[in-house]
Amino acid sequence: ALRHFGPRSRVYSRWTRGIEAVGAVWTGVLLSIVYVVSVGPVSLFMTLTGKDLLDRTAGRDVTSWKAHDPNPLGPLAAARHQF
């Protein structure tokens, strides 16, 4: 009786396709829930505290380029030691 449910049978292949379809749907559902539960509170906390870790403030400047201190070794040495 169990030979009708072996890996090469029609019942097994249909069952496998059905379970894979259910798994594909549930994967999206579960990943969405994990994303909302993990990212949502962090976003809410950052919004309520007014923190902007990426410093995305839109100023009146023409550019958003941030100036930095020059390397004390000089530009050639800085280029050689950048990695």
Q: How far apart are CA 74 and CA 80, in angstroms?
A: 10
Q: How far apart are CA 50 and CA 40, in angstroms?
A: 15
Residue 71: CB partners within 8 Å, gap ≥ 6? 77, 78
pLDDT at 6 over 80: no
* pLDDT tens figures, 29-78: 999 999 999 999 999 999 999 888 887 776 676 777 778 888 888 889 88
